[in-house]
């Protein structure tokens, strides 16, 4: 039996095992989640969350690790959440590969956790916000959310943060890849990592062009900075932190931080509501009703919209 | 004004522009979709659908093109649907890159269409099945559904087909990548393309091992074949078609084809029903209600589950 109030109390005191167990509840969409979130909610709102995304090979986990070090030098308590929406494999395995993270593994002021969310009921719209709520209540000043791939789900996760960092590296035809994946539009801060390699300036220029940074903007608009780093040697990482702090200050000044957090909460609430409706639909009709309708749709004797009406009407009493 | 009955009639006669316009309705989640699907439904059930997925660089579009040629030699009418779940960009651009597809562009018995589904309302659960319904009603004997990436969404799309082909290539550390992306479990037929390169046999062996093909299976179980191809030269492609035909025959014999199609229809119906509920939720409360709840959740004064209850209860009359 999991005693949720005790777990929450221990997590608030910063005990790593309690934090880990609460995030496991999120990962497994456990029944105790509702109680846990209700108990955690009053203790949240303090952590600043930074999403990191970019193609494989740009150095995401090296950059994450370097950012952890930079925030630790500033005395901040840091959480790292590595989200892999396409993996069914949990926890340790993923981070086991991440040698660079291990330098922080014994630091009591750093929580590192990977989360597999493939098949998560209700999907990503609530998994990351709920895990963030745990790390927030545990007293993290900053939470770095790193996604493993660059599919649509990964981009959605990274975009749920307060500030989103898009990483690129020279010579990967990366600008076009990034544009195709739709990640240019979610970047608040851009990092060209591996800047000691040939082509770093070209990548930065291409990015500058694609973002239209040469064009004039309305005064007060945020102008995404492009920072060059060599994360493996820690070069440029302080500049990234400065860019993040500037973006945060800009958001606070323009009411954007509160707006983003409201949007994130709205997505989460809506996802939970839809999952609740889906579950009631199942309770009401059982799977047999859906199966019978699906059989007729597959045979072409019923169209899918009429079948959906059949499911919905009973539920809403129409 | 789009005259849906005329479009559907023209699509059934095989007119490419009508087919294209109907698929655009799907892509744009247009209001006429409901009428179109109802009119198309009675004319479906004939097309055999094949999903193709694999990492970038394995030669997916070359393989798709080679399969089109192989089916054309057998006198089949072929549809190709290239689905890009992470792209907001529509139609032409994507296929414009695909030089190899152009050899089929003037063949009146081949329909080639790319579909961007990012931001598609209700998501992928219905976009691909609806586009398949159009191509099915247009008289395609075979529809090849190629996904562009290997994110979770792409894998889901490929798995919606009657038969799913997973492509690999030598020397990409591909087996492990494929396992991580969860694509091994959805493959009915495996293709090791670029088999003239070093390491093709090793890749096939590794795959054989990971799939546990050496182990004994219950009699009657499907044993996914591994076919080696050099798609760019058309080598091995007839063997892929043979493997597909065998899988189809096996599915028909074991009732699996009908079961898969029922499952696909059930997913589609459920997705439409959930979208309808979501829309009614919006009608009932307006966005202001959700915004007000989200504001309290963001502030930590309300937990997200209680907020979701607030949304759902009004809808179901609880």
Pick the closest to residue B168 from B136, B142, B192 (CA basis): B192
For the beta sheet containing B78-84, the strands, ordered from the edge strand earlier in sequence to the opposite edge, are B110-116, B78-84, B142-147, B48-53, B163-168, B189-192, B226-228
The pLDDT of residue A316 is 61
Cα–Cα distance measured from residue A156 to residue B289, given in angstroms and rounded to the nearest whole number: 24
Sign of the CA dihedral with B15 first, then B17, B20, and B25 last? negative
Q: Do A34 and B305 touch (CB under 8 A)?
A: yes
Query: Regarding the domain with residue range B43-254, which homologous superfamily does it belong to in the CATH classification?
Result: P-loop containing nucleotide triphosphate hydrolases (3.40.50.300)
Interface test mutation site (partner A, options B47, B297, B309, max chain A beta carbons within 10 A):
B297
Least confident of A159-168, A229-238, B247-256: A159-168
Q: Do A311 and B280 touch (CB under 8 A)?
A: no
Comparing A68 with A290, which gets the higher pLDDT?
Answer: A68
Cα–Cα distance measured from residue B314 to residue A309, given in angstroms and rounded to the nearest whole number: 19
pLDDT tens digits along B35-83: 999 999 999 989 999 999 887 788 888 999 999 999 999 999 999 998 8
Q: What is the CATH number of domain A45-253?
A: 3.40.50.300
pLDDT tens digits along A59-114: 888 999 999 999 999 999 999 998 876 554 444 434 444 555 667 877 888 998 88
User: Is A260 a residue whose pLDDT tops 80?
Assistant: yes
Torsions phi, psi for A227 (to 5 deg):
-110, 135
Q: Do A126 and B304 touch (CB under 8 A)?
A: yes
* Token couple for A102: 């291990």
* Out of A152, A262, A300, closest to residue B41 by CB: A300
pTM reported for the whole predicted model: 0.69
Q: Do B304 and A89 touch (CB under 8 A)?
A: no
Least confident of A37-51, A297-311, B130-144, B210-224: B210-224
Using CA coordinates, name the residue in chain A closest to B89.
Answer: A180
Chain A, chain B: beta-carbon pairs less than 8 Å apart: 215
* Out of A264, A295, A304, closest to residue B37 by CB: A304
Q: Do A277 and B43 touch (CB under 8 A)?
A: no
CB atoms within 10 A of CB A73: 11
Comparing B175 with A61, which gets the higher pLDDT?
Answer: A61
The pLDDT of residue B179 is 59
* Out of B263, B272, B280, closest to residue A316 by CB: B280
Provide the shortest C-alpha distance from residue B258 to chain A (in Å): 8
Concatenated DSSP letters of chain B: ---HHHHHHHHHTT-HHHHHHHHHHHHTT-TTHHHHHHHHGGG-S--EEEEEE--TTS-HHHHHHHHHHHHHHTT--EEEEEEETT----THHHHHT-GGGGGGTT-TTEEEEEEE-TT-TTTHHHHHHHHHHHHHHTT-SEEEEEESS-SHHHHHHHHTSSEEEEEE-TTS-HHHHHHHHT-GGG-SEEEE--TTSTTHHHHHHHHHHHTTTTS---TT-----EEE-BGGGTBTHHHHHHHHHHHHHHHHHTTHHHHHHHHHHHHHHHHHHHHHHHHHHHHHHHHHHHHHHHHHHHHTSS-HHHHHHHHHHHHHT-
Cα–Cα distance measured from residue A116 to residue A87, given in angstroms and rounded to the nearest whole number: 6
Comparing B79 with A264, which gets the higher pLDDT?
Answer: B79
The pLDDT of residue A126 is 77
pLDDT tens digits along A45-67: 899 999 998 877 888 889 999 99
Comparing A298 with B99, which gets the higher pLDDT?
Answer: A298
Give start-end residues of each CATH 3.40.50.300 domain in chain A. 45-253
Interface test mutation site (partner B, options A55, A261, A266, max chain B beta carbons within 10 A):
A266
* Token couple for B157: 């799309």
User: Is A210 a residue whose pLDDT tops 90?
Assistant: no
A63 contact partners, CB below 8 Å, separation of at least 6: A52, A167, A191, A193, A229, A231, A237, A240
Give start-end residues of each CATH 3.40.50.300 domain in chain B. 43-254
Interface test mutation site (partner A, options B265, B287, B289, max chain A beta carbons within 10 A):
B265
Q: What is the mean pLDDT of chain B?
A: 83
Range with the largest mean pLDDT of A164-178, B227-241, B272-286: B227-241
The pLDDT of residue B94 is 45
pLDDT tens digits along B233-278: 999 999 999 999 999 999 999 999 999 999 888 888 888 887 787 7
Helices (H), A212-255: 237-253
User: Is B306 a residue whose pLDDT tops 70?
Assistant: yes
Q: In chain B, what residues touch A303 (CB-CB under 8 Å)?
A: 34, 37-38, 40-41
The pLDDT of residue B118 is 55
Cα–Cα distance measured from residue B161 to residue A116, given in angstroms and rounded to the nearest whole number: 25
The pLDDT of residue B26 is 87
* Out of A41, A280, A317, closest to residue B303 by CB: A41
The pLDDT of residue A121 is 47
Interface test mutation site (partner B, options A37, A303, A313, max chain B beta carbons within 10 A):
A303
A234 contact partners, CB below 8 Å, separation of at least 6: A66, A69, A70
């Amino acid at each position: 039996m999991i005693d949720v109030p005790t777990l929450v109390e221990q997590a608030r005191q910063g005990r790593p095992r309690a934090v880990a167990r609460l995030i496991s509840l999120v990962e497994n969409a456990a029944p105790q989640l509702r109680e846990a979130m209700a108990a955690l909610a009053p203790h949240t709102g303090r952590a600043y969350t930074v999403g990191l995304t970019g193609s494989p090979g740009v150095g995401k986990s090296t950059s994450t690790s370097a950012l952890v070090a930079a925030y630790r030098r500033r005395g901040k308590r840091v959480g790292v959440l590595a989200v892999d929406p396409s993996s069914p494999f949990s926890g340790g395995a993923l981070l086991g590969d991440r040698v660079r993270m291990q330098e922080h593994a014994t630091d009591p002021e750093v929580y590192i956790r990977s989360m597999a969310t493939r098949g998560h009921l209700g999907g990503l719209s609530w998994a990351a916000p709920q895990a963030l709520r745990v790390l927030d209540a545990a007293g993290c000043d900053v939470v770095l959310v790193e996604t493993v791939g660059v599919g649509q789900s990964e981009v959605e996760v990274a975009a749920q943060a307060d500030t989103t960092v898009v990483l690129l590296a020279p010579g990967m035809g990366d600008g076009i890849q990034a544009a195709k994946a739709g990640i240019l539009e979610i970047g608040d801060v851009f990092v060209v990592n591996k800047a000691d390699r040939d082509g770093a300036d070209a990548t930065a220029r291409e990015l500058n062009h694609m973002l239209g940074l040469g064009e004039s903007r309305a005064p007060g608009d945020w102008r995404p900075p492009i920072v060059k780093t060599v994360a493996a040697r820690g070069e440029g990482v302080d500049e990234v932190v400065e860019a993040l702090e500037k973006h945060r200050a800009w958001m606070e000044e323009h009411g954007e931080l509160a707006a983003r957090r409201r949007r994130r909460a709205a997505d989460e609430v809506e996802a939970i509501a839809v999952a609740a409706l889906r579950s009631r639909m199942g309770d009401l009709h059982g799977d047999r009703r859906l199966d019978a309708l699906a059989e007729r749709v597959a045979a072409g004797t019923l169209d899918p919209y009429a079948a959906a009406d059949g499911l919905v009407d009973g539920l809403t009493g129409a």
